[in-house]
Amino acid sequence: MIEIDLEACNGCGICVKDCPLGVIDLEDKKAVVGEGCVECLTCQKVCPPAAVLVREAPLAPGVVLCEACPVACRVPPRRTGACRRFVNEKGRLVRSRPLLGYDEVQGEVGPFPRPEIATPLITAIGAGGTYPDYVPAPHIVTHRRGEVDVVTAVTEAPLSYSGLKLKIDTDAHLGDEGAVVTFEGRPVGMVETEEYGSKIIALGGVNRLTGKYGVAAARAVAAAANREAIRLKVRGGPGLEVQVGRPPVIDGARMGRMRVGCGSATAGLFAPFLKRAADEVIVLDAHITSLFTHHAAGRCLGSEPSGIELTYPKSTPGRYFGRAGQGWGATDVERPLDVIAAVDRAKIPVGFRLLVTETTGQKAALFEFGADGIFGEIEPTPEVAEAVAAIAETCQMSRVSAVYVGGAGGSARAGVTRYPLRLTKAVHDRRAVLTVGGAPVFILPGGGITFYVDVEKVRVGAFTWVPTPATVCPLEYTMTREDYEAMGGHQEAMKPFTALKPKEWNR
Ligand code: SF4
Ligand code: SF4
Ligand code: SF4
């Protein structure tokens, strides 16, 4: 049950703005919790003076505990939980919107390209370029596939609007988001937002390519896209040796495994192992550190909350927001017991066993509570070894991957058609298919033709650079001949696919 400490409440109204159900209000400049509160604790998280108190109480009649996420809303009759996804209908939680079939969403999804144009007739690797912009692409070929005449126009396009997103599978802290990344001492990128168990580094981009260090940026992008090993340095952070398809090397250390999930996911995934391994388990993680017996997974297996409290701020029961650092699980905890804020000696008997592990299982230690009131490290038991091995074996090997990002909505379109906007529209409508070296791309929605391509799907050496500076990317547009003609395609430059001479394949 939620109560407001009226002495502490300063009437700031932050909880009123952030309550997902709008059931908290201000009266006489004090917060008042109204009907429909589901005890999601959002108000407690955002309240600056900690005026929101939670009083443990059994579920009231008719209230249903939602177990669909760690928030564990207590949903009153005919009300929804904090996310509004589930509604309490006669003591049963049901989804607040019906399950949709594919037919019902097809309008939004749009058509897939017809199979005849899904792959190009030839690639642009080795095709040469289109310059000045109005000249036709170096190869525009046509061929009949099934009942359809297909056209592919190819060019190796210099793209100033280009860059690379390097995905580095590691828990290691590479630097704050926005930190500058250098190549040969020159700024060519930055640390981006983290994704799942990976750090993302953005290299290049038009502002760097057209800036003072553009040539260095273009070289770094082309080299990494061609799966060459390059050395980067995060300013104020580590040195990196990265090569697509290989494990990253960070400050000289080759990374082993990437996480299986956050500390909370690890508690859930390996709950039966962890329950067997120790009386309490802490999974240290810079994002979500978990405390097993307080966590939904532990409770689900019958664990009672132990008398251990952690130093990190609590998110939901058994889940804590970690802090990034160079310690265990990429937290700031260098010695695992330092994450413990308090031990309730009335609840922790002598001989109580505590396992602390990282989400990768790379580091783990078992402790036993002694008669002297402190935890001492002991040898791992077979159950601990089994649990840690289960975690580690589920973690994939760390590697570096990359997507090349290109803006093809510019001048290169003139090599295909006299009406570039028609090509853009055809690409977005999936009547024209863009590929890079034959590899499928993801087209970003909205204006222009901005695409992502997995560089490991593209032949090694296909990317180059020019001192404009720009990176050079092999682009293919494939469509039906009918659409090509309708968009004003260069018909005079079109030739039968079969007319290509072998030497033209080798340019
Ligand atoms: S956020 Fe806290 S202090 Fe501000 S109105 Fe709500 S309960 Fe009071
Ligand atoms: S616990 Fe959640 S639903 Fe209840 S008042 Fe606070 S924010 Fe609103
Ligand atoms: S999924 Fe359930 S517990 Fe989570 S916010 Fe929604 S209603 Fe609450």
- Per-residue model confidence as pLDDT tens digits over 296-341: 999 999 999 999 999 999 888 899 999 988 899 989 999 999 999 9
What parts of the chain have a pLDDT lower than 50?
506-507
Indicate yes or no: pTM above 0.75.
Answer: yes
- The residue whose two tokens read 């002495």 is 7
| Per-residue pLDDT reduced to its tens digit, 419-434 | 999 999 999 999 999 9
8 A C-beta contact, residue 128 and residue 99: no
8 A C-beta contact, residue 310 and residue 340: yes
Distant-in-sequence, close-in-space partners of 253: CB < 8 Å, separation ≥ 6? none
Pocket mutation for ligand 2, best pick of 33, 44, 315 (most atoms within 8 Å of C-beta): 33
Radius of gyration of the chain (CA): 29
3-class DSSP state of 235: coil
- The residue whose two tokens read 């935890």 is 375
The enclosing H or E element of 17 equals: helix 14-18
Pocket mutation for ligand 2, best pick of 4, 9, 14, 23 (most atoms within 8 Å of C-beta): 23
Residue 140 main-chain phi, psi, to 5 deg: -130, 110
8 A C-beta contact, residue 275 and residue 303: yes
| Per-residue pLDDT reduced to its tens digit, 184-239 | 999 999 999 988 889 999 999 999 999 999 999 999 999 999 999 999 999 999 99
Which ligand sits nearest to residue 37's alpha carbon?
A: 2
- Taken in order of first residue, the domains within the chain and their CATH numbers are 2-95 (3.30.70.20), 113-161+410-505 (no CATH), 162-258 (no CATH), 263-394 (no CATH)
Record the tokens describing residue 146, joined without a space.
């099934």
3-class DSSP state of 183: strand
CA dihedral 189, 261, 330, 242 (to 10 degrees): -40
Kind of pairing, strands 442-443 and 364-369?
Answer: unpaired
Which ligand sits nearest to residue 38's alpha carbon?
A: 2
